[in-house]
Amino acid sequence: MATRKHPLLGACATVLALSIGSAFAAELPPGTVISAENIDKVKNDTFEGHTIASLLTEKMEWRIRNNGWKLPLAKSQKVKLDPKWLKASEANAGKTKINAESCQIDGWSAGQPFPNIDMKDPQAAEKIVWNWHLGQLVGDVAIVPFYTQVLIDGQKGVHAEPIAEFTRYAMKGRLSGEATQGDGTQRGRQLLYFKAPSDMKGIGTFTIQYDSVKVNDVWAYVPAVRRVRRLSGGAWMDPVGSSDQLQDDLEIFNARPCWYKGYKLLGKRHVLAVMHSKYPLWNSKGDGFEKKYPVLENKPPYWNMNNNNFEPREVYVVEATTPSEHPYSKKILYIDTQFPRIHYGEAYNRKGEFWKFMEWHSFPGKAEDGFLDIRTAAGAIIDFQRNHATVSLIDTATWKTNPPGVKESDVSLQTLQGAGR
């Protein structure tokens, strides 16, 4: 005859097990490296009061266990935010609203359109994404004269390193001088063109972004035939050259929020992310892999940015559902709660299967005019279905935010054509 266990004995056993686990849990010191070799040992340990398990998303843990990713722990630091941006953001409180019909934010002129997010608000997720789209701390003008898109085969390593220049020019939401330039229809302009290798030199795109439902106007220039071609309205969903990155993947999310079908706020949590990156992370004249790419680990799969500082950051977790013609079915975005910055993204194919992992490393900067901006040191788009990645590495020493004398006409189709000649 089977004997029954007294319910108090079961409860005591549970308490004892938890007590034993707590007794062996430890607060890990900065510099501890989370890896496949120690993850089971340290999962219940804490860092800044958070368990390591709670600081890792499902896909982050999967990468650590199966893909060689290593996360050195760093003490979290508060980011000082620009006073002009804070003032403009605070002025929007209670005055702005989403106009779904016009695909605009009524009442917005600059800063973060929704400075106070209520987690119970049915529009919370969409407001968080609009904050990212309109309220990024990137300055009125950002010029990156040199960055590389390192193309990496997960077995063979680096097989290409095209070098490009990128410029972003805000037409609305400006924090120096007039908030709006032009007739108010344009949100901003982007210019991207390649400088090397020789067979890619001069190839590039010029983009006009609108502050409306209207899709971007994008022109491509091919110097070999000296022709400009206007791309289709769906170009924002197209790949960037031969990389793993779509136009929509620039800094993880690069679409007008209304182009997506919808958003869902999955919650708020802490994750390990790089907000105070080491830099520079790319030395174009470096001798050998380690000196050229100091953030990368020189062994398969070669794309892991293991040599940086990962600190606890509080993030919103937002599920973004794509339009039916998009290559992805959805993206999961991990967006900083202190200011609009996306640390991680996950992309899923049309079958709902995990496809790509996106990882961005950031650091606080200071513009020529004193504006406190947030800059990118590196970013990775990893395509796990074809075992390939594109790692963008920035020549941070040449980065310029709000340089004097830059005009709207300096970011134009004519500029792109001139660069290609």
Strand partners, 210: 186
Q: What is the pLDDT of residue 35?
A: 98
pLDDT digits (tens, 9 = 90+) for 300-310: 999 999 999 99
d(CA 263, CA 321): 6
Output the average pLDDT for the chain. Answer: 93
Q: How far apart are CA 128 and CA 146, in angstroms?
A: 31
pLDDT band with cut points at 50, 70 and 90 for residue 419: confident
Nearest to 152, CA basis, from 245, 37, 70, 238: 245
Q: What is the pTM of this model?
A: 0.93
Residues 6+ apart with CB under 8 A from 145: 165, 395, 398, 399, 400
Q: Residue 8: pLDDT above 70?
A: no
- What is the model's pLDDT at position 224? 82
Q: Are 339 and 79 in contact (CB under 8 A)?
A: yes
Segments making up each domain of the chain, as ranges: 24-72, 124-419
Q: Cα(300)–Cα(303) distance, rounded to whole angstroms?
A: 8
Domain 124-419 has CATH 3.30.70.20: no
Residue 152's closest CA among 308, 60, 289, 35? 289
Q: Closest Cα to residue 408, out of 240, 252, 178?
A: 178
Least confident of 221-225, 385-389, 392-396: 221-225
Evaluate if residue 1 carries a pLDDT over 60: no
Mean pLDDT, residues 237-250: 91
pLDDT at 3: 47
CA distances from 85 to 139, 179, 229, 273 (A): 9, 12, 37, 23
**So what's the pLDDT on residue 2?**
46
Per-residue model confidence as pLDDT tens digits over 321-352 = 999 999 999 999 999 999 999 999 999 999 99
Q: Taking 60 as the threshold, does the pLDDT of residue 184 lie above it?
A: yes
Residue 157 backbone class (left: φ over 0; alpha: ψ -120 to 50; beta: rest): left
Q: Report the alpha-carbon distance of residue 11 to residue 66 in Å, rounded.
A: 36
What is the pLDDT averaged over residues 148-157? 97
The two tokens of residue 290 are: 């380690």
Q: Under 8 Å CB-to-CB from 58, ≥6 apart: which residues? A: none
Give residue-wise pLDDT tens across range 261-282.
999 999 999 999 999 999 999 9
What token pair was written down for 169?
């020019």
pLDDT of residue 43 exceeding 70, the answer is: yes
391 token code pair: 């790692």
